[in-house]
Structure 1
């Protein structure tokens, strides 16, 4: 009798999925037309329109990250050994610690090299307002307050903070989690809220709650156990591939307000399920994705400085989308590796860990 595979959406599969999502993010940011305007980029042997459309679709990297956050934070909260406040404070510090060190180093280095901090925060308004804006940016809340930021890509940190704060509140209604999700999905339609904005925190709360629901009811794990023998896996592979293709083709056809829950909810979740079962398990590719996933947070935080603010000419200097992309990926990874080394040798990681333990004990 054929042995069935035992694929789980564990922390390793989740990390590999982050590796896929960060590749999507880099391609999405690099090959929006406004991103490389003024530079010659060849997409040979692929049609330019096809590649630009695909890179636009790769915006689903954001809901993929939000889904994984909902999934992981739900499981983390269920295992907590402290109070809701203690868990929230500890999780906030763990999440933000990687951001804080990059914020501080960026402020010091880019101010010394380019006068960047002065230009970003102190070119308008008085000094008090400028210092408040710096503090808000440091806390990752610039999207909520509409204040200045050193890096436009950091808008997602506001979403990360909101996600953490939401978990204890939502978990009080855990038995009604599907109803909470339904209300959150329905609310913008009822009040006619504009959900087409791609950097709006609320836009990605539904898929975050979907991640919590999937974790609660073990839906992804159950799906991965369905049709596990070889003939069945072939059919499952082809069906999922067909569904993904249809979603891919429909992505840009319907107004976002009419189907955001599909475009940035159902579609990304199917991508996660497909990759978890058929991509993340491939030897060699799995190891590469795990490595990329490990560094995905740092790459997300630093790549815009490299691609857009300071070294754009270098990144787009190769004239072809593949070496241009690799230049950004490798440079960002090099910075991330150096950062992880610095955090280790400086004792930063140990300091953050001790603070989190104290927070859980005190609160």
Structure 2
């Protein structure tokens, strides 16, 4: 009999978790409230409408899932670095933002030609200088930090991605104090009654990002995956995690974000990651699908709002059933992503980014 493989929280498990998170994101963005599909006939059969809308609102945890994985991966990347902190930061920023930049450029060119979209977004109000400044900040992924306009509201997360990369070398200067840094980041806003938490506020997801760094430093993810991982104890572990997830799911909507943000967007998504890593992403067939979706998850994240909200919402919501609508959105976004990756290869864009990163960081 083939020996059971040890489950580890490696890059493949992380990629599969990104596949789960991107599916959550599509459901969340399409059905987080009735306003999202107002004017369209959508069936949630065989489930109650309110139940599915609540579930889709809970799927906001896709964002902290990405933040946790980012913290985990960036910690390991920095620990293996062979270059100065400044070089590592510059190289990681180029590597992280390169996928966004190509989509920004193509979106600006295509949608300006089709709808005059760039002119409407950046130059419909204010001066030409302000419009150019807003374009520059949007291209750099910083519009959320400066409160300027953007071509795509979903791109607010790129500001978080930039901040995450910049934070790593700063935190790693005092790596042994990482748990204390996490505790301070969590406690200070509550102690000072600072209203800095929000649905799209970068600070809201720094705690779970730091939790990801802590999990990598102390190998907490791998340690947990080895606890009760055989026989009856594994069944008990499965049932225990299901129970905890059910309780957190039920109380999610009742927890004020300003008070219990770390539970909603910290503990809850981490337990989702632990459960899925051990019991979902290992299932043959499903694992391969999730790995494929995870590989394209960033492109899907950057692209899908144009399709769902800005230009083709009538088409996306026209299929009646809520699952079919999401599958159509996923299919179109995935197809665009596949073409995009092909273009990046044949045009030499990927090679260009690799060369830039190597010159900046020496080893990326």
User: Is the 8 Å Cα contact of residues 19 and 289 (structure 1) preserved in structure 2?
Assistant: yes
> 1:266-303 deviations in whole A, cap 9, x for unaligned?
11000000000000000000000000000000000000
Deviation at 1:196, TM superposition (A): 4.4
- The equivalent of 2:240 in structure 1 is 239
- The equivalent of 1:270 in structure 2 is 271
CA distance in 2, matches of 1:251, 1:152: 24
User: Is the 8 Å Cα contact of residues 82 and 363 (structure 2) preserved in structure 1?
Assistant: no
CA distance in 1, matches of 2:227, 2:4: 10
CA distance in 2, matches of 1:58, 1:313: 23
User: Is the 8 Å Cα contact of residues 2 and 229 (structure 1) preserved in structure 2?
Assistant: no
Matched, 1:23 2:23: yes
- The equivalent of 2:353 in structure 1 is 352
Deviation at 1:361, TM superposition (A): 3.4
- The equivalent of 1:11 in structure 2 is 11
- The equivalent of 2:113 in structure 1 is 112
Deviation at 1:92, TM superposition (A): 0.2
**Where in structure 2 are there 5+ consecutive unaligned residues?**
none
TM-score by length of 1: 0.98
Deviation at 1:98, TM superposition (A): 0.3
The 5-angstrom pairing of residues 27-66 of structure 1 reads 27-32=27-32, 33-66=34-67
User: Is the 8 Å Cα contact of residues 86 and 362 (structure 1) preserved in structure 2?
Assistant: no
**Where in structure 1 are there 5+ consecutive unaligned residues?**
none
Matched, 1:251 2:247: no
User: Is the 8 Å Cα contact of residues 7 and 277 (structure 1) preserved in structure 2?
Assistant: yes
The 5-angstrom pairing of residues 313-328 of structure 1 reads 313-328=314-329
- Are residues 196 and 37 of structure 1, via their aligned partners in 2, closer, same or farther at CA, if it must alter by over 3 Å? farther
Deviation at 1:190, TM superposition (A): 1.8
- The equivalent of 2:84 in structure 1 is 83
The 5-angstrom pairing of residues 180-329 of structure 1 reads 180-329=181-330
User: Is the 8 Å Cα contact of residues 5 and 228 (structure 1) preserved in structure 2?
Assistant: no
Number of residue pairs matched by the alignment: 363
CA distance in 1, matches of 2:197, 2:243: 26
User: Is the 8 Å Cα contact of residues 197 and 203 (structure 2) preserved in structure 1?
Assistant: no
> 1:161-208 deviations in whole A, cap 9, x for unaligned?
000000000000100000000000011112212244100000000000
RMSD over equivalenced CA pairs, Å: 1.4
- The equivalent of 1:134 in structure 2 is 135
Deviation at 1:254, TM superposition (A): 2.1
Deviation at 1:360, TM superposition (A): 1.1
- Are residues 59 and 197 of structure 1, via their aligned partners in 2, closer, same or farther at CA, if it must alter by over 3 Å? same
User: Is the 8 Å Cα contact of residues 8 and 222 (structure 2) preserved in structure 1?
Assistant: yes
Deviation at 1:362, TM superposition (A): 11
CA distance in 2, matches of 1:233, 1:224: 10
- Deviating above 4 A after TM superposition, structure 1's stretches of 4 or more consecutive aligned residues are 1-5
CA distance in 1, matches of 2:327, 2:339: 18
CA distance in 2, matches of 1:348, 1:4: 41
CA distance in 2, matches of 1:255, 1:91: 35
CA distance in 1, matches of 2:64, 2:278: 19
TM-score by length of 2: 0.98
User: Is the 8 Å Cα contact of residues 67 and 209 (structure 1) preserved in structure 2?
Assistant: yes
